[in-house]
A and B are shown apart, each in its own frame.
Chain A
Amino acid sequence: MCFNFALNIGLKNMNTSLLFAVLLCLTLISYWIGIKRSLKVAGGSEHRKDLTCLPEQFGLLTALVCGLPAVITLLIFNSAEQVVIEQLLTSTLTTNIQALSSIDLGLYLNNIRSLASSETSQALLLVINTSSDITTQNQYQAALTLQSLNQQATWLKTALVLVVAVVSVTLLVRKFSLTYKARQKSERIVRGLLVASSGVAILTTFGIVISVLFESIHFFNSVPVADFMFGTQWSPQTAMRSDQVGSSGSFGAIPLFAGTMLITFIAMLLAVPVGLMIAIYLSQYASSKLRAFAKPMLEVLAGIPTVVYGFFAALTVAPIIRNMGESLGLSVASESALAAGLVMGTMIIPFVSSLSEDAISAVPNTLKEASLGMGATRSETVVKVLLPAALPGIVGAILLAVSRAIGETMIVVMAAGMAANLTANPLDSVTTVTVQIVTLLTGDQEFDSPKTLAAFALGLMLFITTLGLNILALKVVQKYREQYD
């Protein structure tokens, strides 16, 4: 179903991209038209100084006025196209099909869509003429209608977009005069574009909040908030039939939060001391040669995609830990929290070290020199002067690292388990919030089942937690800046 739908849009998109290419050409041509027209108004290129603005500025304005309205028309048309065509198609169907429930109608329409996109119109006509079954005939007839509707829509779209482009250019060009302020107008348009681009960030945040919040509210309508926040049983598998055993599914998220904390804690246990010592050594002891070598080397760790760490954790580290544990007589789960945590720690080391190094080097040199001048050794200076002074920055770094570890997905998806165990034993298998989001949302499922919605509720928790940690880290660092600036 999905695939057919994609195919359908794919065919349309070919037209859209062709149209885009045509528009691009038109825009370039109108740049040239703008220049020519302005020169004509001035009375030839030898009189170009009579114009208030440069001919190129006239050209730029013409190009903008040609391209922008046309592109906006195209986007609006594309977003409305599907709905309108569907309405038109439904109105041509027989009444007993129109009377179907919305789900059945959707299925029927999908069948028609796939027919329309996979068969040629000749093939459809052939079936209509040869088939004796009236339902088949109707279906193929509808597919034929859809094809013609689609074609009409494409023609209409092409015509509309081109007309918009041509008309807006013609209207503009007529207004050209010697004192026409082409530059100011084009600059205003460009400025508007810049403002719009900077607004994308706000739209993104807004979109995130909307998407997780609305689905979460849906979810909390069927599962009480308290059950979700404080329940200790997580088994989102809802039964297919309501009379089956354990049909309700239970959504207590405590085991997930505990699992996330456990893995994050293990990761921090590795990343914070190592990262901090690396930062101290590189900023206080290392020669410039070693620093020049070490920094890019550690950046490699930061640049490796997380899926690679996940692979490493699942196929190299986890078996080693299990073998070691078994040789010591311990029972180790094959997907232990320890393996995921250690590898996650490895990933975070460069993050901690570079942020702490920034914090340490931001401490005024006078403090360090005063301490050294009084006879303190370097290590004493670091431990008793630099670290306390850089503490807010380091705490900020650690908070950001924690937020990163909580939100990390691929390592835990690949190396941590699926079973929601409530345990503090690092050798056991635990699951995390991100693992459950991925498990609940990959694969085919109804969008409105509590199982799917639970993923959005978890996403909301994740978003709130990481946002809180980031704001806290920012606050801590800002406070520290006030101290020395």
Chain B
Amino acid sequence: MTNPLTSTTPVKKSAASMTNTSLSTTHSTTEKVTLSLKKRHQKEKVFKRIGLFAVLFGFMLVVILISDIGSKALPAFHQHWVKLDINYQTNWLKIDNASEQNLKTANYRTVLKKSIYQMFSSESGAKLSRKDKSQLFKLFSTNAEFTIKDYLIESPKYFNTQASVWVRLDDDVDSYLKEEFAPGDAGLRMSKQQAQWIATLSNEDRIESRFNFSFFTASDSREPELAGIRGALTGTLLTMFVTLLLSFPLGVAGALYLEEFAPKNRWTDFIEININNLAAVPSIIFGLLGLAIIINLFGLPRSAPLVGGIVLTLMTLPTIIIASRAAIKAVPPSLREAALGVGASKMQVTFSHVLPQAMPGIITGGIIGVAQALGETAPLLMIGMVAFIVDVPTSIVDSATVLPVQIFLWADSPERAFLAKTSAAILVLLALLLVINVSATLLRTKFEKKQART
């Protein structure tokens, strides 16, 4: 290739070999090339189409994933309530006056049961059999007795009279109503009789669909119609708080040392190799570390956001260090030299000149790390954040669970209504991730603009 004049032969050769076809030797090379051109262009077109198809396939996967989860999640955001005529009779409540203490301890289950039976037996005229009674009672949420209790405590004037109270329907009825069966038809986990009762109720305009606020304000529950994500969200916030508090300073300090101070020797190399390898260690291994060292050796409490935060810190630290180092490396050396030249110490150069310049990149790296930690599930299963927890955690050493683990737990539940709950929780998680990523981008552009001005 050194002499352009003699380079014709290799060109022909390579062009001929590229055609990959066995043409007869009677044609000249130019003719061969011309003849094969159509085929080669055809191949080119096919290749390009395959590439485009791969890209579109990728898009399609994103769309399918999001729309599948979105469509499954929609039912979880509203919920059916029913208006019952509750008869707060003294002999059913088993109390004789409406004092505050009495109202708290009264027998509301009997009130609920008898009121329901009364409503339905008067319609059909016949007495309900025992089987009917139990089927009827199953239509309403287990929470209904507490709803009517709160109602009476709030307005004691209904004592010994009748009141219309809105209560939740059971999750099976709720799912049945959302699936649009013809009124009165039996559905999944709904008998014909139950379906007809529901049809009667909805004919009387007693059934209403409301926005499911309790999904955001309630904690986990065994009953799908009562379960919410507040406990898991709080757990996530606490865990992320610990993670951010530990990983960001540690990561930035480590990166600053490695980029600005560390001498080039074997120790530094060892640290670097370590960081790179840790970035690729499966997350579940960090869970084993947390279980064996942090819980069993140091005796920190199981299931606590503190331990979860420490484990996630160790997991995200490499990501943050690598991103921060890249950002620090990108700061022009002239800046350091100028600062050193006017007599600043190495530490002053690092903290007053390099760090502010590298901040946008460091923040982006930190946020990527936090986003990674936010969606992480496996290591938290290892350290026991997988328990069924009804209370909303209040401190970093309370037993808690996090949103991804809540999703995992709900996805495992046999009740159909949890399917929608799971999808809805996923949507919330994805929305959180979106907010975090968008804020990372916004912060970076803001920082960059500010720096451009100064």
Contacts and interface: CB of A to CB of B under 8 A. Distances in A.
Interface of A: 2-3, 5-6, 9-10, 13-14, 17, 79, 82, 183, 187, 190-191, 193-195, 197-202, 204-205, 207-208, 210-212, 214-215, 273-275, 277-278, 280-282, 284-286, 290, 294, 297-298, 300-301, 303-308, 310-312, 314-316, 346, 349-350, 353, 374-380, 382-384, 400, 403-404, 406-410, 413-414, 434, 437-438, 441-442, 447, 455-456, 459, 462-463, 466-467, 470-471, 474
B333 interface: no
A201 B271 contact: yes
Given A281-B52, A304-B65, A379-B48, A311 B407 contact: yes
Contact of A307 (B51, B303, B377, B433): B377
A191 B293 contact: no
Contacts of A377: 40-41, 43-44
B150 to A, nearest CB: 28
Given A202-B270, A467-B277, A410 B288 contact: no
Nearest to A463: B285
Contact of A308 (B52, B301, B318, B430): B430
A470 B285 CA distance: 15
B371 A303 contact: yes
A475 to B, nearest CB: 12
B226 interface: no
B153 interface: no
B58 A297 contact: yes
Given A10-B301, A207-B289, 10 more contacts: A5-B301, A6-B301, A190-B347, A198-B262, A211-B288, A278-B54, A290-B55, A375-B15, A438-B382, A470-B280
A210 B429 CA distance: 34
Contacts of B284: 407, 409, 434, 437-438, 459, 462
Given A379-B47, A437-B284, A6 B302 contact: yes
7 contacts: A187-B347, A190-B347, A197-B249, A202-B270, A207-B314, A208-B288, A380-B40
Q: Using C-beta atoms within 8 Å of the partner chain, give the interface range for chain B.
A: 35 or more
B419 interface: yes
Given A201-B278, A306-B377, A207 B293 contact: yes
Interface in B255-278: 256-258, 261-262, 270-271, 274-278
A273 B50 CA distance: 10
Contact of B285 (A208, A307, A414): A208
A307 B408 CA distance: 7
A374 B14 contact: yes
Contact of B397 (A10, A282, A285, A455): A10
Contacts of A273: 54
A458 to B, nearest CB: 9
Nearest to B389: A3
B298 to A, nearest CB: 7
Interface string B48-92: 101111110111011001001100100000000000000000000
B317 A410 contact: no
B407 A308 contact: yes
Contacts, number: 288
B11 A374 contact: yes
A286 B283 contact: no
A297 B62 contact: yes
Given A208-B289, A294-B55, A462-B282, A2 B301 contact: yes
A383 B20 CA distance: 13
B317 A201 contact: yes
B119 interface: no
A208 B281 CA distance: 10
Given A377-B40, A437-B284, A194 B254 contact: yes
Contacts of A3: 399
Contacts of A14: 395
A13 B395 contact: yes
B282 A408 contact: yes
Nearest to A405: B282
B296 interface: yes
Contacts of B54: 273-275, 277-278, 281
B6 to A, nearest CB: 15
Contacts of A380: 18, 40, 44
B167 to A, nearest CB: 30
Contact of B51 (A190, A285, A447): A285
B274 A202 contact: yes
A-B CB proximity, top 5 nearest: A407-B282, A305-B375, A281-B51, A211-B292, A277-B54
Nearest to A192: B257
B18 A6 contact: no
B378 interface: yes
Contacts of A314: 411
Contact of A474 (B18, B50, B256, B276): B276
A400 B279 CA distance: 11
A315 B271 CA distance: 43
Contact of B282 (A284, A376, A384, A466): A466
A301 B55 CA distance: 12
Among A314, A350, A437: residue with most chain B CB under 10 A: A437
A62 B392 CA distance: 41
A273 B61 CA distance: 15
Contacts of B262: 198
B376 interface: yes
A348 B289 CA distance: 25
B117 to A, nearest CB: 38
A466 B314 CA distance: 18
B418 to A, nearest CB: 11
Interface in B229-269: 249-251, 253-254, 256-258, 261-262
B422 interface: yes
B395 A410 contact: no
Contact of B253 (A17, A193, A215, A305): A193
Interface in B322-353: 345-347
B303 to A, nearest CB: 7
B408 A414 contact: yes
B299 A346 contact: no
B185 interface: no
